[in-house]
Structure 1
Amino acid sequence: MTPDDRPEAARENGGWLAGPERRALLWLAPRVPSWLTPNGLTAIGFAAAVLAFVGYVLAVDHPAALWLVNLALVANWFGDSLDGHVARLRGIERPRFGFFLDQSVDVLSQLVFALGLAVSGYIRPEIVMLGLATYLMMTAQSLLRAQVSGVFHLATQGMGLTEVRCLFLVGNGLFFSVPPQPFSVGGITLAYPDLFGMLWILTNAGLFIWTMIAELRQLARQEPPTRNRPPSDD
């Protein structure tokens, strides 16, 4: 089977916000200017991640820059979520190219965003990087599931990239409204955003293990072990 003959993985979005997001995208896609291409939308999404990085850097001395980060999160959603919809609407989709480009840029955007959060001073850098690592584990698991099941899951237990963006929108507003005050636990200085970060890490790790076990059970039912037949005397 050549690459062109491989069936495209079905996309399934079980996110908590999937319904309203789908309606918003169906309304927005026909209204995107004709000069703005799907690749241009992907570029907007990545540029927004860079803007979020800048906003977090500025927030070190100017907490109001957290609202710039929130603006960047909305722009990132706009570019990242609309590129595929616009391509399909215009009949110019390239499924394998678009999938590879979109997923690659998403990973780069997540790294840039995490670096900004790490230097912002609101969460300890090591917690941010471990949180990014566990989120990338979830991304890798989604790609593995697409390979073995033919379905690309955009969310796990209701949590997809759109829901994650919304969590950060709320978190940034909270950081601005209630500036974190450090406290000491066992000689380690923490603040309440660090506790959120640790909860994020535990949630991702738990979802990864739960999904791995559930997927393995399903695959085991679909592919029961076979016993080798003894060689025939004929």
Structure 2
Amino acid sequence: MEPAFKPKITPIDRIQENLVARVERRILNWICARLPRRISPDMLTAFGMFGALLVFAGYIGSNLDRDWLWLAVGGYVVHWLGDSLDGSLARFRKIERPRYGYFLDHSCDGFATTLLVVGIGLSPFVLLEVALVALAGYLLMSIHAFLSVRVLGELRLSYMNAGPTELRLVLIALTLSMYYFGRESPVLWHLNGFDLFVGGVGMVLIGLFLIQTLQIARRLAVDEPSRN
């Protein structure tokens, strides 16, 4: 029986220029050095997904009582630990599985983000339609990152000096604001302040996708000029 086809894996240039990258890397390396050997990257990936489920449950529960938002805040911390440590631990122990890790990590990222943002939209603080705009913006930026890996060999993990960790910090701040201020009255049409913020973030992500797409298209057009 012939072995399964394995496509050639070329090195990916990881571009991470977010504000807390250096501090975060030191913290992650410190944790990796102290994790028991029985803890595997896959276990950490599952731990991160569990954190996303906690966030989702916290937002759903906030329809009954605002105190459920504390579960969402704790879930963000759990999600950060699992999502940030799984790949870090694999690289720290030099046990990377490039294709498997890339596929599993980004698949889980997409599902986890869907849980987080849809959870916000199902809370009593933000309209679901507005949250879906933010989700569309995130997914477009994810598509852009995956296409860049294929055409440029670059995996950009941050834009405008912000990456996943900064986004989690913003969402934690948003969640704490929901807890302390409660449901807000409409500010513009039927949209409250939380709606405007979440929708604004979504529009920024969509705009960034369009700008980055044009920039890379021009760059590729120079590298591969028309033959007409």
Mark the structure with the bigger radius of gyration. 1
SS of the residue aligned with 1:60?
Answer: coil
* Offset, 1:190: 2.0
SS of the residue aligned with 1:210?
Answer: helix
Deviations along 1:161-201, whole A, 9 cap, x unmatched? 1111111011111111122322264xx42211001012112
On the 8 A contact 2:187/2:193 being kept in 1, the answer is no
Select the residue among 7, 10, 18 that pairs with 2:10: 7
Deviations along 1:109-129, whole A, 9 cap, x unmatched? 111112221211110000111
Work out the CA distance in 1 between the residues paired with 2:52 and 2:93: 26
Select the residue among 41, 46, 50 that pairs with 2:49: 46
Give the RMSD, CA atoms, in angstroms: 1.5
SS of the residue aligned with 2:11?
Answer: coil
The structure where strand makes up a greater share of residues is 1
SS of the residue aligned with 1:169?
Answer: helix
* Offset, 1:32: 1.6
On the 8 A contact 1:77/1:162 being kept in 2, the answer is yes
Work out the CA distance in 2 between the residues paired with 1:184 and 1:94: 49
Instruction: Name the aligned partner's letter for residue 55 of structure 2.
Output: A
Are 2:74 and 1:71 equivalent residues in the alignment? yes
- The residue aligned with 1:219 is 220
Work out the CA distance in 2 between the residues paired with 1:167 and 1:144: 26
Deviations along 1:95-121, whole A, 9 cap, x unmatched? 110000000011111111122212111
Select the residue among 14, 19, 28 that pairs with 2:22: 19
Instruction: Name the aligned partner's letter for residue 217 of structure 1.
Output: R
On the 8 A contact 1:8/1:95 being kept in 2, the answer is no
TM-score by length of 1: 0.90
Deviations along 1:9-29, whole A, 9 cap, x unmatched? 221112222122112111111
Matched residue pairs, number?
A: 224
- What is the percent sequence identity of the aligned residues? 32
Instruction: Name the aligned partner's letter for residue 152 of structure 2.
Output: S
Work out the CA distance in 1 between the residues paired with 2:218 and 2:21: 27
Which portions of structure 1, spanning 4 or more consecutive aligned residues, are displaced by more than 4 angstroms?
A: none
Gaps (5+ residues) in structure 2? none
On the 8 A contact 2:41/2:87 being kept in 1, the answer is yes
- The residue aligned with 2:199 is 198
TM-score by length of 2: 0.93
Work out the CA distance in 1 between the residues paired with 2:104 and 2:125: 31
- The residue aligned with 1:189 is 190
Gaps (5+ residues) in structure 1? 228-234
On the 8 A contact 1:180/1:192 being kept in 2, the answer is no
